Amino acid sequence: MLGHRDNELGFNASEVASSQGVLVMGAAEATVASDSPWTSDALLIALVTGSPTYTYTWAQAQAAGAR
């Protein structure tokens, strides 16, 4: 997981602040029983302009199986 931490923290904060955007992040994990104990992780960090509207809540994620 150290690599994922580096991805999250490795951006240049001054560039983000000067770009007049909003930094957003999404993450996901998938486990396939036949591949146990391995999992697949994904991380997306994006700089967007404007005010993004989030339509997927943590409560919805938990209802879908998020832990």
Question: Does residue 1 carry a pLDDT above 70?
Answer: no
Predicted local distance difference test score (pLDDT) of residue 56: 84
CA distance 64 to 37: 21
**pTM score, two decimals?**
0.50
> Any idea of the CA torsion for 22, 26, 1, 21, to the nearest 10 degrees?
-10
CA distance 55 to 58: 10
Q: Which of 28, 21, 30 is nearest to 49 (CA)?
A: 21
| Token output for 24 | 């957003």
- The residue that leads in pLDDT, 8 or 41, is 41
Task: State pLDDT tens for residues 9-60.
Answer: 666 656 665 667 777 888 888 888 887 777 788 888 888 887 778 788 889 9
| Token output for 56 | 């997927």
